Chain A
Amino acid sequence: MQPLAEAVRPWLDREPWRVAGIRQESRDTVSLELEPPAGCTFSFLPGQFNMLYAFGVGEVPISVSGDPATVGPVLHTIRDVGAVTHALCTLQPGQQVGVRGPYGTHWPMAEAEGGDVLVLAGGVGLPPLRPAIYHLLAHRQRYRRIALLYGARTPGDLLFPGELAAWRGRFDLYVQVTVDAAAEDWRGDVGVVPDFIGLAPFDPATTTAFVVGPEVMILFTVRALIRAGLRDEQIFLSTERNMQCATGMCGHCQLGPFLVCRDGPVFCYRPLAPWLRRREA
């Protein structure tokens, strides 16, 4: 049978998956646990995404946000921002979703071995990084120091707070969480992710950084990483463009010479840098 990524027509080419569970992660973000149909084996690499199809409504690219090593329902974390994501966020257990994938490039987990790793996430940038964090922790001895810096708008927007607390409790992981602003009952930090790079434990010479968030946040964060001594080629980011086909054919996701669905969404900052700096590229 063709790999699932070859199935370019949702619903038609392959049986839909079923919603096995739903979790309200925050006011506007839902995680769907999707169960593949019998006989379908699915695996993905951290950073890749699936195209999820809501029957009759449309298809959107959603990063796989679960543990790449587990078998069983596949986790996708979706923010409700439009017609399709709204349809997906309001699905009930047992309902069907068209799934095809995985598509795109992945985080350089192997290349980062032997050095320090900085994971920097802003807002809904954490779900695409979560599989990478699971991988780092599952193979902890292959990496030196690991630091997670995560920023959100307000405490109520923080995703996976229970997991963050558990991670923070580990001795082999540095976790810094921050919010843009908070009410007086917040005992955590207030500031933006770039503010905390200076305090994180890493050796710039041997660090690999993974950055995901709104493009402005990525730009500020990358700037701060370079000021802290990282070179362009040590920084990886996941970027977003209008992806409709996910197969490199519809032309919408172009970012200069790159097709984000095919050459990304994970990119090394170095080749991407000139294009990110060009306005309206």
Chain B
Amino acid sequence: MTDGIPAPNAAPNAAPSAAPSPGASAAAPSALADLPSGSTARLVRVEGARAFRRRLMELGLLPGTEVRVVRRAPLGGVVEIEVRRCRLSLRLTEAAGLFVEPNAGGGA
């Protein structure tokens, strides 16, 4: 909240993803942060301030990439995710810019 990253909805001019999102379904994408711990999903869109979006993408969080929610911090506010064999902890306010389409399979 102190970091001033615009919430995705508050930034209508944030460039939406133009890259092909393989297997994009008609179902509305949901925020990664809303997924239960342990579930896996495919990223469809990365939103947020330009510099932050770029950093996420450079860490491999690109549309089409599979992401797993590993766990949430006990006090909340932070979520640990796994992408390309790498674990990252993100603040929920920032993870709110990551949109996914849940996998039918759910688990790994």
Judge: A and B partners, yes or no: no
Q: What residues make up the interface of B, taking CB atoms closer than 8 Å to A?
A: none
